[in-house]
Structure 1
Amino acid sequence: MTTGNLTEAVLEFPDNRLLIELCGEYDRNLTDIEARTGVQILRRGNQLTVHGDPEAQADATEVLRSLYDRLEQGREVGQSDIDREFRMGEDQGPAGQMEMPVGEKVEIKTRKKLIEPRTDAQKVYVKSLFDNELAFGIGPAGTGKTYLAVAVGVNMLITGAVDKIILSRPAVEAGEKLGYLPGDMKDKVDPYMQPLYDALNDFVPGKQLAKMMEDKVIEIAPLAFMRGRTLSNAFVVLDEAQNATSMQMKMFLTRLGEGSRMVITGDRTQIDLPRGMPSGLADAERLLDRIPEISFNYFTSKDVVRHPLVAAIIEAYEKDAEKG
């Protein structure tokens, strides 16, 4: 239906329970979509009427249909999902990165739940983790680099593709400051490793995780502890790799053993190394990007799946950096 320059679309949803979830508590999701597009959305029974400018109305109806499809698949819909739907049409990564059709389904099965990459760049990244022995995930915080890598590691462990998971991070203050912390070495380094524990707890039940860690089937250790080891039949993740020195990065990469997979994640904008000390992540990009067996995957603020404000904050800093 058309009125002047405005159009009206009537969408019918057969499952009233899912429609309630689509609308959100106190119609919060509809209010969010209205604010983003400038349309008006009215609910009558199992129908939603979208009224507004033709282009905005088309955008809103497409988002509503996509979110309802998600609910039909048994998935939840939250603010981050609405934000993702509005960003789906935008460029998902730097030129040259492999593309994947938006509709292609990618899932990761873990002990506790099914994980679904939410953006095209995340789908490509997950596929590369399964397809390549060595892969990099580079981009800002909140883009799922580490979370998805740990999920893939758990999947490979429970399917028998690897025998163990090893998760590591540089403890950038592993010198004098760390020494002042109370407790033994584990107590001192655990605060640096906490994000890795958090990810594992999302995928493996508590008692199973404790047993796996006790049996060294899952290990979490500072990067410095990797020296001298050959990591065979393992899924190995180096997180926060921008804080590894060039020598540490070379040491880590050369630990790759038979039957292993290795993932390196990092954010080039959050280097905490002393001034003048080059980042091992930057060196690895420069030296290894022409080796076809190594996958480099890049994320931008468009791939942030935390609170939408996080994406806006990152975009503001990216624009400021471009000016400089």
Structure 2
Amino acid sequence: MSETRLDVDPLGSSSRSVHFESPEHMVRALGAQDEVLRLIESEFTDVNLHVRGNELSISGPAAAVERTERLLAEIRTLAANDTRVTPQVVEQLLRMLSEQSVARPSEVLTLNILSSRGRTIRPKTLNQKTYVDAIDKNTIVFGIGPAGTGKTYLAMAKAVQALQHKEVNRIILTRPAVEAGERLGFLPGTLSDKIDPYLRPLYDALHDMMDPDSIPRLMGAGTIEVAPLAYMRGRTLNDAFIILDEAQNTTPEQMKMFLTRLGFGSKMVVTGDVTQIDLPGGSSSGLKVVSEILQGVEDVSFSMLDASDVVRHRLVSDIVNAYSRWDDNRRQHVPARNRAPREAQR
């Protein structure tokens, strides 16, 4: 058990000593070659940190020492749960602590959904945990947010978990086959060959979460189905975990068709990014419309994720924010005479 010893002087300075239970625990917490320790030092420049044996001493202004000690407590908890503490993880902890969005950020980052092939899949931000909790509690969940926020990946993990726990009998994964600048007709091969690239991200996620050798067998038996959205028409899907990906590229009619496929004992997760609509001719997005239609309906939940939930390379979050600012700025400078025709058409 790690221990903290506190000393406070009358001038408002304080010092604390954090004792780690073993050298291994200390290395897991502070990082290889003290990379995590250096990040903490760069974040709390008015605090002095000194390592001696299995003990880390913290000294400086009382408020800064308290914040540093709280961060270290979260880091120690993660390390004790065999969570790899990286600079990215520390940045997430710092953000959650500064926003005071959750009392114990480490509880968010140690919620395991699925363990497969030597890796553990878990939410990495508060919004991601809220999204995962919503999937547990509701029959239909909409996960809406930019690229890299884990919308589809976490939904896939929950689907595989439900199948393994025998909560459902099958997993159905679907996407609309809408071009993002290219044309299906120019791709070589049969219709199946043309559609396959649109479903490839779903196959890739499956291979991350299951034994690749078992996937063809499960697909052959119908336990796992990956198909274009058009293949859902006319069906009733019972005892299934159904995921609709890239839902921003559905029309309102397609969205209604999909949602009404819901059968007994099933759960649906709909994911999409309303800033990346590829529908031709300025068609309305079914994902935008459904948020107005179903808002407030019982057993339906909308989970919103944003750039702070991006878990890809740090630059992805910066890119998402830059595009959002650019879009906002462009909308503000569109002349009123250009906006009027579009508004009149609504």
Compute the TM-score of the two structures, normalised by the length of structure 1.
Answer: 0.87
Could you tell me which residue of structure 2 aligns to residue 64 of structure 1? 72
CA RMSD, Structure 1 to Structure 2 (Å): 2.7
1:83 aligns with 2:91: yes
Match of 1:260 in 2: 266
Change (3 A) 1:169 1:79: farther
Q: 8 Å contact 1:110–1:155 — kept in the other structure? A: no
- Which one has more relative contact order, counting CA pairs under 8 Å at least 6 apart? 1
* 321 and 209 in structure 1: CA distance in 2 versus 1, 3 angstrom threshold: same
- What is residue 242 of structure 2 aligned with on the other side? 236
Gapped regions of structure 1 (runs ≥ 5): 94-98
User: What residue is the counterpart of 2:230 in the other structure?
Assistant: 224
Residues 197-206 or 2-11, more deviating: 2-11
The 1:56/1:239 distance shift into structure 2, 3 A limit, reads farther
Give the counterpart of 2:19 among 1, 12, 16.
12
Contact 1:92 1:302 in 2 (8 A): no
SS at match of 2:195: helix
Instruction: Letter of the 2:18 partner, please give it.
Output: L
Residue number in structure 2 paired with 1:250:
256
Deviation, structure 1 residue 110: 5.1
Distance 1:42 1:322, change over 3 A: farther
- Deviations 1:82-130 (Å, cap 9, x if unpaired)? 121012135599xxxxx99754774323554543222222222112212
2:56 maps to 1:48: yes
Partner of 1:160: 166
Alpha-carbon distance in structure 2 between the residues aligned to 1:146 and 1:41: 41
Whole-angstrom distance in 2 between the partners of 1:34 and 1:307: 23
Task: Report the number of matched residues.
Answer: 319
Q: What CA distance in whole angstroms lies between the structure 2 residues aligned with 1:317 and 1:2?
A: 47
Deviates further, 35-44 or 64-73:
35-44
Shift in alpha-carbon separation, 1:153–1:317, aligned structure 2, 3 A:
same
The answer on whether the counterparts of 1:241 and 1:264 sit within 8 Å (CA) in structure 2 is yes
Mean alpha-carbon deviation: is it higher for 73-82 or for 254-263? 73-82
Which has the higher mean CA deviation after the structures are superposed, 149-158 or 137-146?
137-146
The 5-angstrom pairing of residues 1-324 of structure 1 reads 7-38=14-45, 39-89=47-97, 103=107, 106-109=111-114, 112=117, 114-173=120-179, 177-323=183-329, 324=332
Whole-Å Cα distance in 1 between the matches of residues 112 and 285 of structure 2?
Answer: 33
1:18 Cα offset (Å): 2.0
- CA 1:233 to 1:178, structure 2 compared with 1: closer, same or farther past 3 Å? same
Q: What are the superposed Cα offsets for residues 245-304 of structure 1, whole Å, 9 maximum, x if unpaired?
A: 212111111111121110001112222222421111001101111212211111122222
Mapped contact 1:92–1:119 kept (Cα < 8 A): no
Q: Equivalent pairs: percent with the same residue?
A: 42
Distance 1:199 1:145 in 2: 12
Task: Give SS of 1:206's match.
Answer: coil
For residues 40-65 of structure 1, the C-alpha deviation after alignment (integer angstroms, 9 at most, x for no partner) is 43322112233455444433332222
Distance in 2, matches of 1:314 and 1:92, equals 23
Distance apart, 1:224 and its partner CA = 2.0
Residues 240, 265 of structure 1: 8 Å contact kept: yes
User: Could you tell me whether the CA contact under 8 Å between 1:92 and 1:120 is conserved in 2?
Assistant: no
Specify the SS of the correspondent of 1:269: coil
The AA in structure 2 aligned to 1:307 is H
Give the structure-2-normalised TM-score: 0.82
* Counterpart contact for 1:241–1:266, Cα < 8 Å: yes
Contact 2:168–2:240 under 8 Å retained in 1: yes
Residue type at the aligned position of 1:19: M
Say which one has the larger Rg: 2
Q: What is the CA–CA distance in structure 2 between the aligned matches of 1:55 and 1:201, rounded to whole Å?
A: 47
Task: Tell me the alpha carbon deviations over residues 152-202 of structure 1, each in whole angstroms, 9 at most, x when there is no partner.
Answer: 100111111111101111221299811211223333222222221222122
Q: 184-193 or 132-141, which moves further after superposition?
A: 184-193
8 Å CA contact retained: 1:79, 1:307: no
Distance 2:37 2:89 in 1: 13
Give the distance between the partners of 1:127 and 1:293, measured in 2 at CA: 13
